[in-house]
Structure 1
Amino acid sequence: MVGGVAAGLLALALTPLAHAERADRDKPMNIEADTGRYEDQSQVTTFTGRVVVTKGTIVMRGARLEVRQDAAGNQSGTMFAEPGKRAFFRQKREGVDEYIEGEGETIEYDGKSDIVRFVRRAEMRRLAGATVQDEVMGSLIVYNNVTEVYTVDAGARASGAPSAAPGGRVRAILAPRNSGAGAAPAATAPAAGASAPLRSSTTLPPASGTPR
């Protein structure tokens, strides 16, 4: 079922059957690009031209990447798309053959808080194998890998920025709980490794701690 959500902000959560790969934050960040430049004063490394990032199961692609690392070794990166295009992010969920992936004109990944922000024309999907199970679209999507809760903000009317969903409204496609690969029957408790659908949540992910 596809429908627009009138509220400017939609909070959803994945059921806690599986989590994003916890080890990803401790893996090295591997980067391929046409050029790279390090600025000692700002402690920022900038990569440009067909940038590809891998960090454990995380994959990011875009036109320009700014990387920062704090004294504790926590890495954060902001990926920018080419004009008129969107950057890409993908990460495996732990214990199941499922992935979270999405696009935005800008994608911000904070390794310390394990939060991803898809900014402008934002879209995020949950895939079971290669099959899309759930999909949300808006102007801003903030996804917390630790709690597996995310918020979707239409934002277009207030900011004037374009939204991935038409009409400046949040849009979502949510798979029924008893459909999709590995889903458990409605009358029984979900089995380990089952596909986890989306559910409503009153818990919002923290708004602070994301790279700017």
Structure 2
Amino acid sequence: MRRVSAGGLAALGAILLAAVFFPPASARAQTFADGLSGFTQNSDEPIEIESDELEVRDTEGVAVFRGSVVVRQGAAVMRTARLVVEYEGGGGTPGATAAGAEQRIRSLEASGGVVITSDDQTATGETASFDMAREVIVMSGDVVLTQGGNVVRGDRLTVNLATRESRIESPDRATGGGRVRGLFIPGQAPGQAN
């Protein structure tokens, strides 16, 4: 089994964020980008979105899901209060297509608290944004990444899938923040509890 170390922090966050729409990467994933490599529009897994309310503004290419939003794809689940999907192409809600029309999701904005889970991995934050064209994911506001007993905390997580770079920051020193914090259990493989 793969062991989690400070160097493997990138893989942990990437896998957690990828869980929003794509199944988790294989156990051999070693970086954020490896974990998020499925976070493209080429996944064959269906995406299921549930919410209390859905507003579609097709002329603007916007769909807004409100109230206990749950997004599932494979074993991955995201929960949030509000999800805004920007898309191009006709046909109503994202993923639905008119005859011959192709839709493409441009961006996703989750807000009101975001929890992403897949297997023993969890990522939480206040907001998450997914820029599909730039292949950039940003999670902000009290970000916590966990896998088994391993925990990383920061204020902002940025993952660039194209360059395979990731960064966890905590820039708000005025409120006592300003430091990224990690707890790594030596020798603990993913899936092992304390």
Give the shorter-chain TM-score range.
0.5 to 0.7
SS at match of 1:155: coil
Hey, what's the Cα distance between the residues in 2 that align with 1:88 and 1:23?
19
Over residues 72-114 of structure 1, what are the superposed CA-to-partner deviations in whole Å (9 max), with x where a residue is unaligned?
6245321111xxxx3111346xxxxx64x21111112344555
Conserved 8 A contact 1:20-1:91: no
Change (3 A) 1:58 1:37: same
Hey, what's the Cα distance between the residues in 1 that align with 2:28 and 2:162?
13
Deviation at 1:64, TM superposition (A): 0.7
Hey, what's the Cα distance between the residues in 2 that align with 1:153 and 1:32?
32
Q: Look up the match of 1:156.
A: 172
Q: Look up the match of 1:17.
A: 28
SS at match of 1:76: strand
Q: Look up the match of 1:80.
A: 111
Over residues 106-164 of structure 1, what are the superposed CA-to-partner deviations in whole Å (9 max), with x where a residue is unaligned?
11234455543211111122x2xxx233x22111111346776421111213xx6x6xx
What amino acid is the match of 1:30? E
Hey, what's the Cα distance between the residues in 2 that align with 1:91 and 1:114?
20
* Root mean square deviation, CA, Å: 3.4
Change (3 A) 1:77 1:57: farther
Runs of 5+ unmatched residues, structure 2: 1-8, 13-26, 90-102
Runs of 5+ unmatched residues, structure 1: 1-11, 93-97, 183-194, 196-212
- With normalisation by structure 2, the TM-score equals 0.62
Change (3 A) 1:173 1:115: farther
- Aligned residue pairs, count: 151
Conserved 8 A contact 1:13-1:148: no
Question: Which residue, out of 165, 168, 178, partners 2:178?
Answer: 168
Q: Which has the higher helix share?
A: 2
| 2:152 is equivalent to residue 136 of structure 1 | yes
Hey, what's the Cα distance between the residues in 2 that align with 1:80 and 1:156?
20
Over residues 12-67 of structure 1, what are the superposed CA-to-partner deviations in whole Å (9 max), with x where a residue is unaligned?
53499323275564233211000000112321100101100113343110111101
Q: Look up the match of 1:46.
A: 64
- With normalisation by structure 1, the TM-score equals 0.57
Q: Which has the higher contact order (CA 8 A, sep 6+)?
A: 1
Conserved 8 A contact 1:123-1:141: no
Change (3 A) 1:118 1:108: same
Change (3 A) 1:76 1:58: farther
What amino acid is the match of 2:10? A
Q: Which has the higher strand share?
A: 1
